[in-house]
Structure 1
Amino acid sequence: MSHTLRLAEQLISRPSVTPDDAGCQAILAARLEPLGFVCETIVSGPENFRVTNLWAKFKGFEASAQAGRAQGATESIAPKTLVFAGHTDVVPTGPLEQWSSHPFTPTHRDGVLYGRGAADMKTSIAAMVVAVEEFLAANPKPHLSIAFLITSDEEGPSVDGTVVVCQQLKERGAVLDYCIVGEPTSVNQLGDMIKNGRRGTLSGKLSIKGVQGHIAYPHLADNPIHRFAPALAELVATEWDAGNEFFPATSWQVSNIHGGTGASNIIPGELVVDFNFRFSTESTADSLKARVEGILTKHKLDYALRWTLGGMPFLTTPGALVKAVSESIQAETGLTTELSTTGGTSDGRFIASICPQLIEFGPINASIHKIDEHVLVSSLDPLKNIYKGVLERLAAL
């Protein structure tokens, strides 16, 4: 059994339903500390929702640099830092009886490894750790600083996980140059797609006020559903932006709309609408808010609107990191990878605020969050080799 597969199975066997890490990060720390990593556990959140975060930083380069200075070396050495980021928490399993095997018992069938977190994203984390082990065995004093940022709050509210660690790192003045997030980005084959950015997400809860009344006496009431209809039509028809070479056009979608008391003969007194923007770098959260509120005001609606900014868009344009990942994928698989910004949000939105170059790359994503989540066993060591190739390429710069 490969080292990557063995570690992946160890992690999958831990029932780490968000926000419970279930000991996964202790397993990782036990592998990283003998390599020269200083491992720090950062706990956050209320008592009933404790989140465990691991920040592990390789100190080997700093030690060799200090030794060189002690021997009178005058050349300034400034290593770049590559961060491997991911999450040990997983989504709930769903009905156990619908699984072909227990979700926290790693199971092999026909060359496929089944288990909750197999694709999202415990195999990525295992591949990252083994890649670092092999890289440091061959390069004990690399011209590269390496770190791991692992959380147990990615599948949950994401308020006590990566965002907390990033804030602490920012306050410490930590410098991060590159980051690879192990999200499952591949579509049909390992390496056919990487994410070099993500759209922003902005949600709104809109309340339209009316006057409740008997449906037979509409002149004594004011139907908020009717009032909102013209504004809804305009919101749906609005082109918010045209996107750009990296992002599709910004999208506005209603996710829920509710009015009424449950009786068919009552005009409701209020309409509640939930909606969401997935927006490109061509728009800002403030500009979208202003345009929505302008439309609502134009239609003379009596409304209240509460906004929630879930994340800003981020983008890594082709540079050293994209080049290193693309070349490593091609060397291992022969594929020319596709750069993409599609999909939902990830913790990359937090890390991008303190790290200028960030990409997401991991295994095939077709089974994530599903019953019988799985990953091809044959993809695990190639994934590890790609991560290792990135280390080698960045260390050579």
Structure 2
Amino acid sequence: MSLDDTPVLNSLGFAKPPAQTRVVVAMSGGVDSSVVAAMLAEEGYDVVGVTLQLYDHGAALAKKGACCAGVDIHDARRVAEEMGFPHYVLDYENIFQDAVIDEFADSYLAGATPVPCIRCNERVKFKDLLETAKDLDADCMATGHYIQRVMGDAGPQLHSAADANRDQSYFLFSTTAEQLDYLRFPLGHLPSKDATRALAAKYGLAVADKPDSQDICFVPNGNYASVIEKLRPGAAEAGEIVDTEGKVLGTHNGVIHYTIGQRRGLGIGGLADPLYVVRLDVDKKHVIVGPKELLSTRTIPVREINWIGDGKLTDVAEREITVRVRSTRPPRPAILRPISETEAEVELLTPEEGVSPGQACVFYDPESPRIFGGGWIWRGY
């Protein structure tokens, strides 16, 4: 085939006109996914908007910043009407309860610090919803996530967003190569959230000034413990706050009220040096506290690894990478040593404080914005 015969790809990477390219847009009702849907509709794509009802939206109507609650479903539907494409609401309450909320509660009860947004992407949006998109004969599914899909020699790669302040790679590390082949992220290249809102204003969307969602969608005001107590009655059993030698320093009203690295609100004032939560012993109902230096971690065991780098994870005995152990922290230099295709040990070149079981450890290429995947931190220290 000569260069002149090379098929011209549309903006979503298909060799056919936009009007012949069906794309399902996952619409949360927020400004990001609304802009994606409006942008693709304006370009002439065959857009189908889909919003997931994830929990009782009647109870969530009064919660500002909730995702996929009643007001958000209304906002998504209104955008579809304004831009002239079909919109569907799918009842995913049972799926969301089983795949995300129940594990969130059980993880907290086990003393971990879960990240339900990752499980939602992995088990709901990029699994069940993606299959629904295929059932609708869509060529691809687009979302409003701030991350980039870049074509490499061996297929699509996952890259961090152009705007580091909006980058959502930490929450999308479990995206598989097969899913990445089908997904599109039209906002990943934008320089800022202001650019997204400018596009919303350009399209005349009523959500242009809508505030960003805050906290976990099903946790009102960030009060995790109250949600756990409702989901698992009796979970907040009282116990003791002890030091690393087992000396009792005080009492608490439930391990679920504490997280690794916490300093404030321990109720054990009057001590010479500040103490931090360094470990949670659920079986003994102990909150174990100690000096800040005990929070430093250099070696992190990781399991349930999703590897989307080149070749297999176990192709080399060790490799230099950077890792992120919390969504709010920048990637740090580390050595990745595989144990199997799904387990590894990560050695941080500089110790990190507050590493907690249940959090994700996300792998990055130290030489580029590419994400190599990641896994779950799985035991205490």
TM-score (structure 1 length as normaliser): 0.27
Which structure dedicates a bigger proportion of its chain to helix?
1
Structure-2-length-normalised TM-score: 0.28
Larger radius of gyration: 1
